[in-house]
Amino acid sequence: MHVYRLQRTQILPVSLDAAWDFLCRPEHLRNLTPPGVGLTVTSELPDCVYPGLIITYRLALYKMFCFNWVTEITQAEPLRYFIDEQRSGPYRFWHHEHRLRSTEHGVEMVDLIHYALPFGFLGRMVHAAIVKNQLNAIFDYRREVLTDKFGGSVR
């Protein structure tokens, strides 16, 4: 299994409380995801993430490829981080850390994703041709939404 890594870092010029209050709310995932991904959350959502939270989604990529996706918040420490992991879905492996840290310029937000695709060599080809670019586009979109909401910079 080949595990890929994607990391994005962004400085948000807000307090740690303000950043956490926005990012810990699963309801904001829809706003942070490009419309073309066709993300629909199919489970009820609490006000804030917590360990053990299961979130179910439906993805409609290119309106042709539909997937059900189930993630679990496996760890969460308020004002510091939370981790979601895929339990069922399009990836063979998915582990996404959302980390926050106070800095002199606001809050450093780091997304660190480790993921793998199924289907061996074919999965690596699909990654190179589609998935890598699609994930980059999703996190570019997320960066733009957060910059529009809070201001900030990217590292």
Q: Is the pLDDT of residue 96 over 90?
A: yes
All structural domains of the chain with their residue ranges: 4-154
The predicted pLDDT at position 152 comes to 73
- Using one digit for the tens of pLDDT, what is the confidence trace for 137-151? 999 999 999 999 998
CATH 3.40.50.1820 is held by the domain 4-154: no
The predicted pLDDT at position 154 comes to 63
Q: Is the pLDDT of residue 153 over 70?
A: no
- Using one digit for the tens of pLDDT, what is the confidence trace for 100-137? 999 999 999 999 999 999 999 998 998 999 899 999 99
Q: Is the pLDDT of residue 93 over 70?
A: yes
Task: Read off the pTM.
Answer: 0.93
- Using one digit for the tens of pLDDT, what is the confidence trace for 38-84? 899 999 999 999 999 999 999 887 667 788 999 999 999 999 999 99
- Using one digit for the tens of pLDDT, what is the confidence trace for 2-43? 999 999 999 999 999 999 999 999 999 999 999 988 899 999
- 26-34: long-range contacts, CB 8 A cutoff, minimum separation 24: 26/53, 26/55, 29/55, 31/145, 32/141, 32/142, 32/145, 32/146, 33/138, 33/141, 33/142, 34/137, 34/138, 34/141
